[in-house]
Chains A and B, each alone.
Chain A
Amino acid sequence: MTIYHYLIIGNGAAGLSAAEIIRRRDPAGRITIITSEPYHHYSRPGIAYYVLDQVPERQLISRGHAFYRDHRFDLMFATVSQIDPEARLVYLEAGQPMAYDALLVATGASALMPPFPGRDLEGVLTFDTLDDAKRVARAGRKAKTAVVVGGGITAMELAEGLHHQGANTHLLQRGDRIWPRLFDENESTIVAQKIRQEGINIQYHEELDEILGKRGKVAAVRLKSGRTIKCQAVGVAVGVRPNLDLVRDLPIRQDRGILVDQFMQSSQRALFAAGDVAQVYDRWTGEHNLDILWPSAINEGRAAGNSMVDFVRGRQPSYRYQKDSPFNCALLFGLHLTVIGRVGSSSAAEVEQLAYLSRGSSQVWTSPFTSDYRSAWDNKGFNSLRVVLAGGRLVGAVLMGNQELADPLRKLIEDEVDLSGYEPTLFSNDTQLPQVLLRAWRDWHQRW
């Protein structure tokens, strides 16, 4: 019997869930995981909670040495310098090249750094890895004032973390509201209120122009408006970019990520991709889309693992990856937030068409609608609910605060339930949106 060698670059959610599936289906196979970080598998979204001192580093590492030993995964702490897909070889920065039968590229995404002058100074922070989180925590403790640039979840997590560690924190927003790509005015106001309550200053219509340094360290930032803010730390979270360095020059179909089919296979037959780096065919929009989401990474990793086993055995791939409606939830400044499916971008957001996704979001969320859509919303205090209907079907929802409807709405969206019968009541002004949706869900639920 041939022993196949499965090589996985990346030790994150996608890489490890692929490895688990491969081990389940091929007990004899050789599985090598290469990581450039000095840790075993840890929870990447969890680094936000690490900076808030809610969980220690030891607890964040969810798969320790014993897990790798028990599953016979060879974990290599090394950096890959080159892939040769023709010869099926992977070159490491040090040591021998490694041959593989199937390769998974699950290198993830990393923060984008716009070309600010002074971007290399000490105290300029991004928020991708556990090492970054440690730097952020240290900088937050030392700095008197910190400035964070960007919309999106990561920027808010950075601001919350730096503030929690004791820095007086400013959050710079390019437009007149928070996360304009996703939030409408009302939702943005709620989040802004929470941020202010926390004690973080939001500066609207401000953009970073230059980071000023003194002796190699951040000393101040100059804004486009001409103002300067004295600070010792600058957090940059304007978006992420898939880590394509290894495949950029290879003859592989790629766009913003590696283009893969529904079996996570790229145009090079032995090369698979999953997670943030993969741009996957999406049945909701009919395009290839990027998701920078944890659950998507796990599902893509599983699909890739299955396809890799089928591939080395010379079989037709058996496991078709069905992209879920993208979903994420977060706790921002004590406020629960859930985003499901397609929620569209409002007209004000089109002004700020940044080409980059922020971590924890999906390209699908804000992709423009081709057909007519209507949205209904309701809010009470810190609770807000917005649903989007297209063609009588629920396609997306944003929930803030009260999360009671999160699971019902997710079910209704994923099963593409026809709600056209409720449309008149949904859009009339004198009905309570949550009650109507709850009734719709109960009616549908009872039918099954």
Chain B
Amino acid sequence: MFTRLKKIFSSQDSKQGSKPPPGMWQVTADASRCVQCGICGYNCPVGIEVREYARRGENVTDTRCISCGACVAKCPRGTLKWGPAILVRADDTLEIAPNDLPLQLHLQPRKLP
């Protein structure tokens, strides 16, 4: 547990991580590039199994994601990239976030499905 916490803080300012540009971004995946090697999940400081998203070509929508970019930086095949976030509207429909969305929105709590 403690090492895991330390890993979070170290990855915050680590040079390895790939920082997203300002705005609302999520890790996106290109399924056709993925070979399921699992390096992404292995390097994830909070233990998200990123490759399950990559297999389906979905955004990493896990709420535990701290946007550290470790998976983006470590992916050997360019599968993972920063892309516009997918937002869940109140009525459970999906919406792609515009790039210039203010950052505060990201911090507002929302009910999870």
Contacts and interface: CB of A to CB of B under 8 A. Distances in A.
A330 B35 CA distance: 11
A61 B49 CA distance: 12
Nearest to B79: A329
Contacts of B38: 43, 46, 55, 59-60, 62
Interface in B29-87: 30, 32-33, 35-39, 41-42, 51, 74, 76-78
B39 A329 contact: no
Interface in A329-369: 329-331, 336, 338
A45 B32 contact: no
Given A49-B76, A403-B78, A56 B42 contact: yes
Contacts of A55: 37-39, 42
A371 interface: no
B32 A336 contact: no
B24 to A, nearest CB: 21
A60 B40 CA distance: 11
A295 interface: yes
A153 B47 CA distance: 31
Interface in A52-85: 54-56, 59-60, 62
A43 B78 contact: no
Interface string A388-410: 00000000000000010011000
Contacts, number: 49
A327 interface: yes
Interface in B6-45: 30, 32-33, 35-39, 41-42
B76 A406 contact: no
A263 interface: no
Nearest to A45: B35
Contact of A54 (B33, B39, B41, B51): B39
A54 B77 CA distance: 13
Contacts of B37: 43, 45-46, 49, 55, 60
Q: Which of A49, A295, A406 has the most CB of B within 10 A?
A: A49
Nearest to B51: A62
A334 to B, nearest CB: 10
Nearest to B81: A407
B41 A59 contact: yes
Nearest to B38: A59
A338 B79 CA distance: 12
B76 A331 contact: yes
Contact of A46 (B32, B36, B74, B78): B36
Contacts of A54: 39, 42, 74, 76
B78 A336 contact: yes
A294 interface: yes
Contacts of B35: 43-46, 294
Given A55-B42, A407-B30, A329 B78 contact: yes
Contacts of B30: 407
Contact of A59 (B32, B33, B42, B76): B42
Q: Which of B35, B36, B41 has the most CB of A within 10 A?
A: B35
Interface of B: 30, 32-33, 35-39, 41-42, 51, 74, 76-78
Given A46-B35, A49-B76, A62-B36, 6 more contacts: A55-B39, A56-B42, A59-B39, A59-B42, A62-B38, A329-B78
8 contacts: A46-B35, A46-B36, A54-B76, A55-B39, A62-B36, A294-B35, A295-B32, A330-B76
